[in-house]
Each structure stands twice: as structure tokens, then as C-alpha cells.
Structure 1
């Protein structure tokens, strides 16, 4: 049994001055009162290890729903995905930024590229041993290829496909999609609503993005089953007072329990004032994403990444996104942390025991400096996978 003391624990939207108890056998958060009353002997109440968090914040581990790559690795690279060590490297390094779960994200690819990359990632996820040494892959995010050709961003134009012209989901992705958690598409494209409905039947979350949809078309996408907006404000039509487009979904208060929005808080993709407007319009819908690409985590310097001359993915970490989000919006620490944990867990439809620290939940959490919110330690299933030197004392 592990007992984390001298900490403020984030649970159900509030930071409480209490201890966190973790059962090392199950890797889950324990209710100490229930444990006390159910114990048959004093021996069962013994604590194996006591961790002094030195006033730090204990919060659910961060969940990144849009991670294209980092540390020199690109999940859309056929060559790099042939080597499992490249996937392992991302999993190992992400915990240093507080991320305990993520969705490797593929940009628009050709069918034969999807076939090989998805097969390799399927094999990785099917191996339980591979998921034990770093951040866990909770599913794949396929960002494309059913986009509006006017809003492709850094995606290769030749890989963009119309749902109407495709021969079906399997033919497009060359995969049964058993490990796919999220798909981004443009709802205004002919045949897109049928694709949304089919994906939802398979239990796959659908996000609206890379789209020039009108508000009516965005509404239709939500009606068909879409429940998220990919990187709000980027690769979509600009706000207009007569037709606000996708951004207008922020004003649909009756849809706020159904629609969330991803936002990149690097200060470059979205102006801080715009982040604040989105947050104030729909606080519970904010989902922090890095949209990180291979350059994230590399040393300072110049790095060649792709050939598109446009704003592409970021090099910001989730740790930095949380810090920036709090500054940009003026929200509380608890609200900033939930936007990187509770909210993405909800929109990704993860099991109830993930993305929170309720009793019985999986003990995936991060210990943060109480003022700077810098990551001090990251735990998965109660096991410390990263620790900043000197962050806490163990007894």
C-alpha cells in the first residue's frame, strides 16, 4: 500500500487537503475508510511506503487526444512505425510531461500507408507488455482524410478523399479500426454524415475539423453523432456574425453536454484572447491537446519537419498547455487540470476508472509543483515512471 501525504488531491473538481492511498497489488486508488472498516487485522492496515509530496498537487494523469509525434518520431511515418522502439520511445518520454494516456494521431495518408501503419500499431497495442513502461495508448486518432480541400492545413492534398467517392471506411483505412478511438472529418462533405453514423455504430468518437462547414452543417454533424471539434479555430472557417460556422457551436448551449472542443494552448495556434472566449463560452467543453509533431521534445535548434509551408502541429507539451491555459483564461488550477484529464477522458468515452482519482479508479496520476504546475512525478497504476530529482521524500 502506498500513501501520498502532504498534498492537495484533485477529485471531482476540487483540490482537497487529503492523502491519496494506492493499492500496489491492483494499481487502483483506495478508499481509506472502507479499507479500515473491512480490515480483519491490524496487519492489513500497514502502509508499505509513505510518500511526502511536500505540498504538491496530485491530479489525474494528463490525456492527450491529439499527439502526432514527438522526440523525433512521427506516427504517420511508415518507416518509423516499422520499429516498435519508436513507439516505446514516445510512451517513455511522454510521462516526463505528465501524460499517462494518449492517442497516437495519423494525418491523412494513402490507403497502403494506413494499412501498414495501423497494422503495426495494432500489434503494439495487442501486446500487454508494451503498455506497461510509459504512457498508455488508449486508442488511435485518425485525422483525415475526409476533409474539405480548402482547409487541409499541412495535410497532403493528394491524400484528401471525399466520403462520397470512397469505397467505404475499410477501403479507405485498409483496417478494421478495432483500435481507433477518434476520427476527424469535415461534416459538410457529401456522404460525411453517413460516415459519422457508421463510425458511431462502431463505438468510434467523431470530431469535426479541417472543415468550412456552416453552422447548419456543423449542427447536422452533431446530429449524426459528432461530439468534438478538432483544434478549435484552426483549419476551419472564420467567425462571421451572420453565420459563425463551426465556432457557432460554442453558442449552442443546448448542445454543451454533447460537444467538446480541442484547443492548442501554445500561444501561436490560437491567440490567448480566443482561448479565453472559447473557455468562457463552454468551460466544461475545453479539452487541451498538444497536436504535437516530431519536433516536440527535441533540443533547441533548427529541425526539418515535412515540406508544407503552413502552420502545422505544435512542439508544445501538455505540461505547458496546462500552464498556458490557466494564464490565458484566468481559470482555477482545478479547472486547468481537468481540461487535460477529466474532459478528454469523457469525450474519448474512456472507462469510468480512467481520467479521475475517485476511489476504485486506476492510479494514473501526476504530482505537480503547487505554484508553477511543473511536473514533479508521474505514476501509472501506482508505479512511478518519472520523478524529478528531489521532488518528494519516501519512507
Structure 2
């Protein structure tokens, strides 16, 4: 099957050009400038960006990855695909170890099917003082023996572990993850600047939702944020929903780390795409009001109702980034984190034909995954 998309504004890491794209057998085969050499589907001058890659998502459309229910997981994937996310990793939250193992095993089947790009453990090895919406009664110090069992349940599909590396056994957990090919992420952490550097030296390469649920910046106590922004080995996640972060803090991260080390994420929970009301995130009740998700008890921010198209649009309209910069942060940088940038993350000949067609106002017009159009309504 071959299709040519003509009269497009093609967004690549190098900029935006008026041109055309040919897709054959689910891959980009030609990317040209100007008028297409053959008849094709005219896009009316709309933008074409690569499909989004979300490395931190808990749910959407009323479904939840932490539930371990395959049908819920499929609903989550389909919902975010309608909003342009063509590659997605399932993030779990703190739970009892048997429950984590059960959910991991179920989601691993969906990874086998290619529906998910991997599984992320956000907890239970996180700091009580920075646990956010995680159940404090289920937190525990890191254990390499426990991790080994959880990794086995994932059958090679566990891709990321968030850990508060300052906890007893935290650095050992980082090393154990890295030795298994699992990305170690520092997050939900009260680490000092020095402890954060130790974690990075041990193998941490990602900052889980930078700024949120971690010791804040202070001019005499820089904490983990300064270490994570300064170190070239770290990619920082940002929840750009206007609730988690002020636009100025997104600009600060981008200025310090650049597009190559800054990844937009949704951190979405099951309430994404739903109305206001009370929902579950793991074992916790969450109230959504005006699109903001907070714990019923205590009021801590509990994930988001964000989608990646909105995150990208806010990056341009509220933060002031260019569309190519925002596109890199929503696609290529997270693809690199997962080691998938040879297949997805940019409109490049040979890569999977994952793309999003955006209207002039950067709202979704249509979405393609591996050469096939996805229903968006």
C-alpha cells in the first residue's frame, strides 16, 4: 500500500518546510519539498508532526494501567492514540508487590502484542515525604530481590523504574535496574544535590516529572533539580498541563536542558477524557475538578487529565517554544529515552509512518499509526 500526503507543512527536527510525504508498507519512504510529484491526499497546508511518544501515562477514558485489566489498557491506548500518541508506555503506581506482579504480567502480554512500548514502575520505592498521590502505607525501601521478581513478571518488558535513590538500598536498586537494561529514573525523592549526583553516577538517566514530588530548588540547598538539569546524562520529564508547572518553569528546564534532554509527558490518569468527578488511581481516591486531579484526602496532585496534543500546543502557545522544538520534546526525545528513535520519533525515511496532522491552531485533524489512519472521534 502506498499513499502520498501533499500540500503539507512538514515538521522535522530541522524545521518546517512546505512539501509532501510518501508512505509505503507502513513506513516513510520519501519526504520532499514543494509540490508532490504524484497525486496524493491534499492536507490543505496543515502541519504534519511525528506521532507522540508518551513515556509516563497511567490511564485515560476511564481506564487504568495499574488495574492490570487488559481491556482497560486497550481503552487507554486507543484514547491517547486519538490524541496523537502512537507510542505509549504503561506506568504503574505504588501497590502491594503481588498486585504489582499481577498487573505487570498482564501488561507484558500487551507488550508482546506491540500495543505497549513497555512498563514503568513508579513506586513503591519512593520517599514518604515526597510520595504525592501514592499510598504511603504501601511504600517500602528498595530491594534488589523484590525487583528481580518484578522484572521476571515483566518478561523483559519492564523499561523504567522510578526510585528515590537516597533511600536505604536505593543506589543498589539503580544499579540492579541498569544491569537488567531497565531505565533508572530519579523521582518522588528528597535527595540532596550530592545524593542525586551519586544516583546519576550509578546509572540514573531520567528525572521523573521534574520539579514535582521532589525537594525544591534553593540557593543554598540546590537539591536534585539542579543536579538533574545540569547533567548531560539526564532527560527530564515535564507535565506541561498548567497545573503541575508554571510555564516559566517549563522554559527554565528547556533553557537548561534543551530539546534533546526535555521530554513532555502526560502523567495522565483514568480521568483523562472524562468529566469532573471522583476516580481511582491505584488504591487512592482522586477528585477531578476543572480538569485538575487531586487526592480526596490531602489534596495532593494526582496525575493529570492531560493529553499530548494539549501538552504540545501549550508548549508553543504558553511556553513560547517553536513547533519543531515542542515536537522534538513530544516525540524524538522520549523515543530516544526508550531506545526507539531508530523506528519512531521523527518524520524520517525508513521510520514507522506515525504522524499527526494538525490544524493551523495546532488542534488534531487526523492521526496515522504505521501507515493506517486512526479514528479520532
Secondary structure of the 2:48 match is: strand
CA RMSD in angstroms, aligned pairs only: 2.0
Among candidates 246, 250, 254, match of residue 279 of structure 1: 254
Residue 137 of structure 2 corresponds to 158
When normalised by structure 1's length, the TM-score is 0.85
Secondary structure of the 2:40 match is: strand
1:54 aligns with 2:25: no
Q: Residues 104 and 139 of structure 1 are in contact (CA less than 8 Å); yes or no, is this contact kept in structure 2?
A: yes
1:271-310 correspondence to structure 2 within 5 Å: 271-284=246-259, 285-298=261-274, 300-305=275-280, 306-307=284-285, 308=295, 309=297, 310=300
Deviations for 1:41-80, whole angstroms, at most 9, x for unmatched residues? Answer: xxxxx96x72111111111100111111111112112xxx
Among candidates 337, 357, 360, match of residue 367 of structure 1: 357
Instruction: Say if 1:60 and 1:226 are closer, same or farther in 2 by CA, change over 3 A.
Output: same
Residue 245 of structure 2 corresponds to 270
Residue 31 of structure 1 corresponds to 30
When normalised by structure 2's length, the TM-score is 0.89
Secondary structure of the 1:101 match is: strand
Once residues 119 and 203 of structure 1 are traced to their aligned partners in structure 2, the CA distance between those partners, rounded to angstroms, is 18
Larger strand percent: 2
Q: Residues 3 and 23 of structure 2 are in contact (CA less than 8 Å); yes or no, is this contact kept in structure 1?
A: yes
Residue 148 of structure 1 corresponds to 127
Secondary structure of the 1:31 match is: strand
- Greater C-alpha Rg: 1
Structure 2: tracts of 5 or more residues without a match: 286-294
Residue 374 of structure 2 corresponds to 385
Structure 1: tracts of 5 or more residues without a match: 34-45, 389-395
1:196 aligns with 2:186: no
1:92 aligns with 2:70: no
Q: CA deviation at 1:368?
A: 0.7
Once residues 159 and 241 of structure 2 are traced to their aligned partners in structure 1, the CA distance between those partners, rounded to angstroms, is 25
Once residues 21 and 318 of structure 2 are traced to their aligned partners in structure 1, the CA distance between those partners, rounded to angstroms, is 30
Q: CA deviation at 1:168?
A: 3.5
Q: Residues 174 and 204 of structure 2 are in contact (CA less than 8 Å); yes or no, is this contact kept in structure 1?
A: yes
Once residues 265 and 151 of structure 1 are traced to their aligned partners in structure 2, the CA distance between those partners, rounded to angstroms, is 20
Once residues 383 and 295 of structure 1 are traced to their aligned partners in structure 2, the CA distance between those partners, rounded to angstroms, is 27
Instruction: Say if 1:283 and 1:9 are closer, same or farther in 2 by CA, change over 3 A.
Output: same
Residue 42 of structure 1 corresponds to none
Instruction: Say if 1:172 and 1:99 are closer, same or farther in 2 by CA, change over 3 A.
Output: closer
Following TM superposition, the consecutive aligned residue runs of length 4 or more in structure 1 with deviations greater than 4 angstroms are none
Once residues 150 and 335 of structure 2 are traced to their aligned partners in structure 1, the CA distance between those partners, rounded to angstroms, is 27
Q: Residues 125 and 142 of structure 2 are in contact (CA less than 8 Å); yes or no, is this contact kept in structure 1?
A: yes
